Amino acid sequence: MTPREAARSIMESALAAGDVAPLVRRHLRVDPRHARVHVLGCGKASGVMAAVAEEVVGDRIADGFVVVKDGHGARVPRVEVAEAGHPVPDERGLAASARLLELARSAREDDLVLFLVSGGGSALTPAPAPPITLAEKQEVTRLLLASGATIGELNAVRKHLSLFKGGQLARAAWPATVLTLALSDVVGDPLDVIASGPTAPDPTTFADAREVLVRRGLAGRVPASIARRFEAGARGEIEETPKPGDRLFGRVTTIVIGNNGLITDAAVARAGRLGFQPHLATRELQGEARDVARDLVARARRLEPPACLIAGGETTVTVRGRGKGGRCQEFALSAALELLPTDRMTILAAGTDGTDGPTDAAGAIVDAGSVGRGAAAGADARQALRDNDAYRFLGASGDLLVSGPTRTNLLDLYVVLRS
């Protein structure tokens, strides 16, 4: 097996460990006292989650609706599955949010609302609070993504522009019982950050959301209606999202059924079986993608071959160019530029959902020959990095990793093989 084949094999084993179906079956238990179950959901994996929930719950499903990213659907006879835009929300997401809130409000006190949530759910359920428009929410989302904002910062803003997020779906379902099964794509699994926590208490405030815009240099660039809302909210003139201690959360149970630990543990095990000495760097990898790439390459050089350095997490990219790519592709291109001709390293960086940024690639696999292969095809690696144009360069060098939707979402996986 070549190093590139080994890297792919490690990724495949990791994805098998994150298979949604057995995770839902393992954790879903419905009290017989709930004769009527409303199946709601949002996120890239929620269609598959709903299909398995239907197997478990059966004819007790009264109605159901989930919204997924384009191409991530599933066939679920008792639950409607809709698709919407991601990472920038669209009109279909607006309609999906309204439908989810409508079904939540229809639940009776003795009903169960089964909420299935996974990464991507926040963008798929925009529900802007009037007078904020969808176009204005799209604009602030684009600005935050380009600024390198963390998922926590992004979601603090989203929650305070929304009628759906930050515990507000649970508020709509009150006094029904709510069971949330969450697939975490967030470092540390904070319930209020996974898809912006529609059924979780929100510890952030309007003042926090306003501070995110200031910290990221966006306070004077967002639409005026958003700035006015945050100012009014900070003065107490707009009702806050439900906070920890609110009585409505006494009827909400949340179970995190899977996280990045499943992925990294499986990757470590597979690397060992392939003859590499595995080293788990972290399950909480964060930071600017190009900086993190330099750090992991330097750490891998200190390992005695054959070795495999593994990390899980989610980096960020501050967009300054006009190119195309995603955080895993930018990481891979940056790592390739760090490699010397004598470095016997193969590096994989990929999103476990099968997509990386607004591209059809999950990420990339690079080695010491990547920069040269790209140059032979007429591409300049350093210029591509300056332009945030990793996708085109890695396409030219033959290093893109294209898997299609995996229908799971457990952060990103980074694998550095030293042979």
Cα separation, 54 vs 49, in Å, equals 9
Residue 218, C-beta contacts closer than 8 angstroms, at least 6 positions apart = 140, 143, 144, 147
**Is-cis flag, bond preceding 32, omega within 30?**
no
SS percent in the chain: helix, strand, coil, step 5: 40, 20, 40
Among residues 164, 245, 239, which one has the least CA distance to residue 201? 245
Cα separation, 219 vs 213, in Å, equals 5
Q: Do both 85 and 198 map to the same domain? A: yes
Q: Which of 241, 258, 275 is at the close of a domain?
A: 258
pLDDT at 191 (0 to 100): 96
Residue 268 covered by a domain:
yes
Q: Do both 199 and 333 map to the same domain? A: no
Q: Do both 269 and 238 map to the same domain? A: no
pLDDT at 279 (0 to 100): 98
pLDDT above 70 as % of the chain = 100
Region 282-307 average pLDDT: 97
Q: Do both 31 and 94 map to the same domain? A: yes
Kindly report, residue by residue over 321-352, the tens digit of the pLDDT: 999 999 999 999 999 999 999 999 999 999 99
Cα separation, 385 vs 329, in Å, equals 10
For residue 354, what is the domain's CATH number? Answer: 3.40.1480.10
- Within 10 angstroms of residue 306's Cβ, the number of other Cβ atoms is 16
Q: Which of 214, 238, 258 is at the close of a domain?
A: 258
Q: Do both 246 and 270 map to the same domain? A: no
Q: Do both 188 and 198 map to the same domain? A: yes
Residue 227 covered by a domain:
yes
Predicted confidence band of residue 244 (pLDDT cuts 50, 70, 90) = very high
pLDDT at 229 (0 to 100): 97
410: helix, strand or coil: coil
Which residues, listed in sequence order, are joined to residue 279 by a DSSP beta bridge?
Answer: 309
Residue 38 covered by a domain:
yes
Strands 61-69 and 80-84: parallel
Q: Do both 347 and 275 map to the same domain? A: yes
Residue 127, C-beta contacts closer than 8 angstroms, at least 6 positions apart = 94, 97, 98, 101, 162, 163, 164, 165
Burial class of residue 102 in the structure, from the number of CB atoms within 10 Å of its CB (0-12 exposed, 13-18 middle, 19+ buried):
exposed
Residue 321 covered by a domain:
yes
Asked if the model's pLDDT at residue 88 lies above 90, the reply is no
Among residues 85, 95, 150, which one has the least CA distance to residue 121? 85
Q: Do both 190 and 96 map to the same domain? A: yes
Residue 5 covered by a domain:
no
Cα separation, 292 vs 128, in Å, equals 34
The distance from CA 38 to its chain's CA centroid, rounded to whole angstroms, is 24
Asked if the model's pLDDT at residue 237 lies above 90, the reply is yes
CB 312 within 8 A of CB 414: yes
Kindly report, residue by residue over 101-148, the tens digit of the pLDDT: 999 999 999 999 999 999 999 999 999 999 999 999 999 999 998 999
Kindly tell me the sign of the dihedral angle through the C-alpha atoms of 184, 186, 191, 197. Answer: negative
Q: Do both 114 and 169 map to the same domain? A: yes
pLDDT above 90 as % of the chain = 97
For residue 212, what is the domain's CATH number? Answer: 3.40.50.10180
- In the chain, how many domains are there? 2
Residue 272, C-beta contacts closer than 8 angstroms, at least 6 positions apart = 278
Tokens of 295: 């750090």
Q: Do both 65 and 89 map to the same domain? A: yes
pLDDT at 14 (0 to 100): 98
pLDDT at 255 (0 to 100): 98
Residue 15 covered by a domain:
no
- Between the CA of residue 162 and those of 122, 171, 214, 237, 366, what are the distances in Å? 10, 13, 20, 16, 40
Residue 10 covered by a domain:
no
Range(s) of the domain holding residue 169? 20-258
Region 346-374 average pLDDT: 97
pLDDT at 87 (0 to 100): 87
Q: Which of 211, 237, 258 is at the close of a domain?
A: 258
Kindly report, residue by residue over 172-223, the tens digit of the pLDDT: 999 999 999 999 999 999 999 999 999 999 999 999 999 999 999 999 999 9
Q: How far apart are the first and last CA of the chain?
A: 12
pLDDT at 160 (0 to 100): 97
CB 335 within 8 A of CB 315: no
402: helix, strand or coil: coil
Q: Do both 243 and 279 map to the same domain? A: no
Cα separation, 305 vs 302, in Å, equals 9
Kindly report, residue by residue over 5-15, the tens digit of the pLDDT: 999 999 999 99
Residue 354 covered by a domain:
yes
Q: Do both 288 and 335 map to the same domain? A: yes
